[in-house]
Structures are given as C-alpha cells and as structure tokens.
Structure 1
Amino acid sequence: MWIHILVFFTTFCFMEFMAWFSHKYIMHGFLWSLHADHHKKDHDSWFERNDAFFIFYALVSIGCFLLWKYEILEIGLAIGIGIFAYGLAYFLVHDIFIHQRFKLFRNANSRYAKAVRRAHKMHHKHIGKEHGECFGMLIVPLKYFKN
C-alpha cells in the first residue's frame, strides 16, 4: 500500500520535470508545428493543435492502467493515477486558471497564483520557438514571487 502511495507522489512530481522537458525540447523543438498555435493563434477553433500533447499523456496514463489491469505492472495503477492527477492539475492551472479557456478561478490572487501567471506571461512574451523561458508549470522560479 505505502509503495503505491509513494509511486503516485513520485510520478506526480516527475511529471513536472516531464512537462518542463517536453515543453522545452519537444514542443519548442521538433514538434513546434503542433505547439505554435498556442503562442500565436492562427485559427478560429476553440481547440488547438497543442492539445495533442494532452492526448499523448492521457494515452500513456491509460496504458499504465491497462498494464495494471492485466497484471503486467503492479504499480501501473499508481503511475497512471499520478500521470492523470498531474494532467488534471496542469489543465486546471494552465488551461483554466492562466488561459481562461473556461471562465473559472478569475479571482485567485495568492502569491503563488500571481507567480504562476507572471512566469507564464514571460513564457508567452516570445511568440516564436526560440528564446523561451519558464517551461515548467507548477514549479515557478523565485524571481516571479515578487510583490
């Protein structure tokens, strides 16, 4: 039981690294064509090509659930739920809180909320794939916690 809880939390934390890594080296790298519309909207759709990354991680999470279900990987459920929980947190923070794709959490003004907004604003300051900064989501550099 404890190992599953530890694996869940470890997976959730590792996903912040994966978000940073895939954002910096994949989304702003060889798959910029899928991520570019997130920086500069070039269509009228509510959906973005960038949403494909969400689908990819959802499939990885589902794969872990299946590995657990078919008794191939005992900790597959804990890993799958950890990936899912991070994806949900990412969706709530990035898509709802920051980009307001749904009009919720508009009045969140804690120091952390302001820091997340500032860091993401600095990331979107650059509309091209080069010269970006702040590629993570939940862990924000201390300089953005200024008042």
Structure 2
Amino acid sequence: MHWAIGILIFLATVIFMEGFAYVAHRWLMHGPGWFLHASHHRPRHGNWEWNDLYAAIFAVPSIVLLLGGVQWGWWPGTIWIGAGIAAYGAIYFGFHDIIVHRRLQHRYLPKSSYMKRIISAHRLHHAVETKDGTVSFGFLWAPRPEELKAELKRRGNAGVRAATATTRDRVEHP
C-alpha cells in the first residue's frame, strides 16, 4: 500500500473516531455504561476512577488491528486504522485527562478561541451530575458555550450541581 493512501486512511480514522466517541459517550456511557461512567461525573478520590476502564476497552480494537496488520498478514490498511484509533486515544488523553481534568499538573492556559470553547463545553458537560440532561458529548468539536448554557437552562438545569465560586469561575472563564 502506498504511504499516501495509508496517511489518508489514518486521518480519516482520526476524524471518524470523533463521531464514534460522540456516539459512545452519548448513548453508551450515558446509557447502559453509566455504571462505569458515573464515577467520572463525581469528584475523584485518588488517581483512578471506574470510567478509566473505557480507555482499556476502546484500546482493544486498535491493538487487534495493529497486530493483525503487522503480525498476522491482514490487509495493510488495518495498520493505519489501528494507528488512527491509537492517535485519537492519545489526543483524547492529552486533551481530556491532562488539559481539562488536570490528572497531570501543568500550567497550560488556553489562549485560542478553539481551546477555550472545547474546554468550556466539556466543563459544562460535567456541570450535570446525572446520567440524563447533560450537553456536549464530543471531545474535539463542541457547540458554543452560550448554546450549551441556554440548553441547560431550557431543561430547567435538571441535574446541574450547585456552583461554587471556584467551579463557576472555571466554567465561565477557562
């Protein structure tokens, strides 16, 4: 397989994964998988939460595709697809776990409107503590925070945790 085709497959996979992540987050994690994901909508005690098992679960297809392409003689495109899934996982980890949830301490402050938008959207998602009623399920694309706040208000702020001065400041001024 020509490397340029592989790169296109890789990029298409990364883009596809954002759609897959939205669907999995919206209808799996906030659906039957809430028993694991609920830990992510509560304050974390320690380094791990039950929700972290999703990283291992979603890594399996990537590992299988990479092994299949490299070791088992599958179609060479499976390597690029597996790498695209892994790249999305790395992007997700960097954005979600490091930048937004600060699971590793850093001094990064978002300056671009894009980063401010997706961080605000994710924090608005976490303003809701319950399985239902939340907004913004994507990770690399999100509606404007004003739209999300209006949607939460339209829903009567059902499930929204009471804001403290700290959380209010983080949501409004990431």
Q: TM-score, normalised by structure 1?
A: 0.92
Matched AA of 1:107: L
Return the match for 1:121 from 123, 128, 149: 123
Q: CA deviation at 1:108?
A: 2.5
More contact order relative to length (CA 8 Å, sep ≥ 6)? 1
Indicate which of 79, 97, 105 corresponds to 1:95: 97
* Contact in 2 for aligned 1:111/1:145 (Cα 8 Å): no
Rg bigger for which structure? 2
Q: Distance in 2 between matches of 1:44 and 1:38?
A: 11
- The answer to whether the Cα contact below 8 Å between 1:12 and 1:85 also exists between their aligned partners in 2 is yes
1:27 to partner: Cα distance: 0.3
Structure 1 stretches of 5 or more lacking a match?
none
Structure 1 counterpart of 2:51: 50
Distance 1:86 1:105 in 2: 23
Letter in 2 for 1:36: A
Amino acid at match of 1:54: A
Confirm or deny: 8 A CA contact 1:5 1:78 kept in the other structure: yes
- Of all paired residues, the percent bearing the same amino acid is 36
**AA partner of residue 84 (structure 2):** G
- Alignment size in residue pairs: 145
- Distance of 1:93 and 1:40 partners within structure 2: 19
After superposition, the C-alpha distances for 1:80-122 in whole angstroms (9 at most, x for unaligned) are 1100110000000000000000012532222111101110111
**Greater Cα shift, 109-118 or 19-28:** 109-118
Q: Deviations over 1:39-97 (max 9, x none)?
A: 013x6331111111111121111001011021122211100110011000000000000
Counterparts of 2:51 and 2:114, CA distance in 1 = 25
User: Structure 2 length as normaliser, TM-score?
Assistant: 0.78
Give the Cα–Cα distance (whole angstroms) in 1 for the partners of residues 82 and 65 of structure 2. 5
- Report the AA paired with residue 76 of structure 1: T
Report the residue type matching 1:51 in the other structure.
D
Change (3 A) 1:105 1:80: farther
RMSD between superposed Cα atoms in Å:
1.8
